[in-house]
Amino acid sequence: DTAVSQTPKYLVTQMGNDKSIKCEQNLGHDTMYWYKQDSKKFLKIMFSYNNKELIINETVPNRFSPKSPDKAHLNLHINSLELGDSAVYFCASSQDGAGGRETQYFGPGTRLLVL
């Protein structure tokens, strides 16, 4: 069973298009995240949602809009795609908890290429 899954795995699209990436977790976790890994391999958080509520928004352009229909899903919609959006996008989830137990589990990534 895949704990954190993302679709699609690969996405190739033209500049200016709008696209969505979906994420689902079957771990029963309360919190979900989107991270971006650019061509230099830096991995950086974009958003986090806790119980469908936006908690972290790390100065991401408002062309990026996360949507959490329920606790198990966090989708990422990107409007007016730009060349610089090409990256690998990782979804993750964790369970709230004290004591540093909020281990994050990552999905396999979505490789986005904007032409």
Using CB under 8 A, which residues numbered 93 to 112 contact another protein?
A: 94, 98-100, 102-109
d(CA 70, CA 1): 20
Binding of another protein at residue 113 (CB under 8 A)? Answer: no
Task: Please give the structure tokens belonging to residue 93.
Answer: 């989830």
Residues 33, 111, 96, CA angle at the centre, nearest 5°?
15
From the CB of 60, what's the least distance to another protein, in Å? 13
Task: Please give the structure tokens belonging to residue 94.
Answer: 């964790």
Look-up of token digits 């966090």:
74
- One residue of 4, 11, 78, 112 binding another protein per CB under 8 A: 4
- One residue of 14, 28, 42, 83 binding another protein per CB under 8 A: 42
d(CA 12, CA 39): 15
Which residues of the shown chain bind another protein in the complex (CB under 8 A)? 4, 31, 33, 37, 41-45, 48, 50, 55-56, 58, 88, 90, 92, 94, 98-100, 102-109
